[in-house]
Structure 1
Amino acid sequence: MRALLLEDNPDDADLLVFELKRAGFEPEWSRVDDEPGLVDGLGRTPDIVLADYNLPGFGALQALRVINALADPPPVIVVSGAMSEDACVEALRRGAVDYLLKDRLARLGPAVEHALAQKRLDHARRRAEALSQEHERRFRAAFDHAPVGMAVTSPDGALIEANTALLEMAGVTMADVRGRPFDGLVLPEDRPVVADYVKLLCEGGDGDRRSRPRARPDDDHHGRPVREIRLTGHDGKITWTQYSASMIGTSGPLVHQIADISARRRAEQALQRQTEELARSNAELQELDRLKSEFVATVSHELRTPLTSIRGYTEMLAEDIRDPDQSQIISIIDRNGRRLLALIDDLLTFSHIEAGTLMLVRGPVRIADVLRSAVEVARATAPAEVAIKLSPPEGLPAVDADGPQLGRVVLNLLSNAVKFCPDGGTVTVTARVSDAPAEVVVSIADTGIGITPAEQTRLFTRFFRSAEAQRRAINGSGLGLAISKAIVEAHGGWIGVSSTPGAGTTVSFGLPVP
């Protein structure tokens, strides 16, 4: 088979040839990408032309104009990455025998087989109308050995001849069907498809598809493409096929072509089943995730009440104890109680974020006040060896925000910076105003261990902890940054990170200025 490919992308051309070979063809092919190349390629009398619809400057529609001017044009199949319904109809109206999307090339082999069979049938039909009995004999030979099922019927639908491929496809013999209605081979539900197609042929004279657009893919009786029908034999076997027909002369016999597409349909049905199974699995996972979130929220709430009482009584004990050893014990209890309470608050907040119930109580908030308050809290708990510096500029505008939640973000970022700073390290808090867009940008920089580029992309993922944090056994739940990101984005802001391993990390976030 000689194939001419009108394609500007060599990779796409190789893919088309691969699909042809996979369909059983042994193509001799060449690729062209402009009109001179097409004219030269047509001089080598290709059996089939595969034309890219969207080729820059010279696409399938221009190619059809050149090809249709030939005395014996080869069949053209339009191939495209995407085509509208109007574009498909226009290509068929201008002479294309079929169209394919590049992401569905499994149909290329059957489409080429059908196009070649249609071409042979067109030759046979024209010869039968104008030439001798010898030409009719040659047509019969082509009919009998066609790679697709074929049948000849009278205008009233009575079956005159059927080739071996069709008889095998339907599981019948010629003696079973000669003189009977052709649509007796078709499943009753699909017979209107055949009737409508034949009616269109009769209304269109010789039924030449070049003279009119093909019916729309969704213009059918049962939600399937118009030319897909099911054959049924005496043994009850159902065979999915692609159906087309043509008329010999203006009122002569009809020639029906039927290509077996059962394998494709089985693949589609298997894919549909897999899709449904994946959808069910996804729904189950979503339900499990919802139950997990509810469980975490419930347990966190139940733990918070007794833990608050423990901390309250711990503070009362601390006021009355003067013994240094006992005071240290009470201090340890209080410190770990605060740590547990912070973890529970994180879990509750994250549960609200996942459930979409995080409530923000907005109002005018001075960023400088939020930063000072958070730095004071961080300094009270930070090791003495780590310095925390605050240098917000004067005159920062107020933002429309939830003050406590914003303070939570800053404190989370400060706590992270302190945890990852070595002795003698420094954490610096700065703020500035950006004009385009108008926003306040807060940056918290440390001189700590830094984060690798690969881990920076996952830094704001829930429960993520860097490899270095795990190696050094640095405490943390992996929720702080995920919560901070959710809170900042709920305010219409952004958050990002810049880090160099061994040289420190800077986390910045921006909030819009009203």
Structure 2
Amino acid sequence: MNQFDLKLKILHVEDTPTDAELIARELKRDGLHFDIRVVDNQQDFEKALDEFIPDIILSDHSLPNFSSLGALKIIQQRELHIPFILITSNTSEETAVSVMKAGAWDYILKDRMQRLPLAVKQALEKYHSAIEKERVEESLKATAEKLFFHIENSPLGFIDWRPDFSVKFASARAREIFGWDLSDIMENRIKGLDMIYAEDREWVLKSASEALKDQSLSHSNHLIHRSYRRDGSYLWCEWFNSMARNQAGEIISMMSLVNDVTERKNMEQELIQDRLFLEKAGEAGNIGYWTAELDFENGKLTWSKEVYHIFQVEENEFDGTNSSFFKLVHPDDRERVKELMRVAVESNHLYNIDHRILLKNGKSRWVNEHGQFVRNEKNEITLIIGIVQDINDRKIIEEVLREYNDRHEILSRAT
């Protein structure tokens, strides 16, 4: 259903009854459905604005006690945005131009009344398009404000890239991670490709090249590699990159979330050799470790203290079985997590899973699980060893970014 299927409310400023009837008849002939109120003075005009609340205003230019310019002045004083069409029989071109400059949307000569229905439709379409554009812009603004709040209050860094991979914007956390100051950003001194650690550069650039070749409207990837700080030292970074294109295939947005995972990488490298180190590093970095028997239903599961903290479970509330663990996994994610673990076992690959868990207060939280397998001399899996990390803040930012890109695309199409 469009706006012309609904009954329009037309306010008509006219002092000649026969002209008012002619205009109403012309509109009905075209199939428009409407209620119309005819007024010929300022008092009735203002009353109609308050009580009738018109969708569109049609107005003669000069009446004994009122005029189109007077009507437009009242509309502007009230800051109303109502389509206004001048209908007159003997106005000069200069007068018509002056009324248009005063705010009229169109003008029709009474001896060319057949153009009126189309002018009404075009004015209303223009009005509703402007309203929709304003709504989208306000929604985009609200989303951008929400995004900026999360960005500036997240433990993850956020970077907005230019097409040449120089930094257009970096959040406070991103600047902290890499040791940048605002002048580095403002003076365009940071080049993303130069940040890549020398030994990782070849495969990272290959991944970036593949992303640029992808012509789909949206593309994202997840990379972990070493990056240089401003002072020349390096750190391990986990990157969540997204790129959006318009319908013409032009890149309109490249953004990244970045997390300093140096501590986690160090922990992963010593996972089997030093469990004590894992415990302490996990407490410092909100990362826990666990070991599990291969039997997903009845096998035993051992958690570090930080896992209990992440899951918000007391040690005496958890019986240490895999089946109890799966009860803590969000119902919508439970079968997916089981299946991914089974596939990892069958394919003899490490696994890396993002999923939600259920907390005692009924809320859910996102975590990431990394796991690897310990085998005996017969190459049989005897134990699964893994780590779990709270990634809820990152997931919130990703969702807001996705919403921002969607609304940016809507606005791009509207303009």
For normalisation by structure 2, the TM-score amounts to 0.38
Question: Structure 1 or 2: larger strand share?
Answer: 2
Normalising by structure 1, what TM-score?
Answer: 0.32
Larger Rg computed on CA atoms: 1
Question: Which has the bigger relative contact order, CA under 8 A and spacing at least 6?
Answer: 2
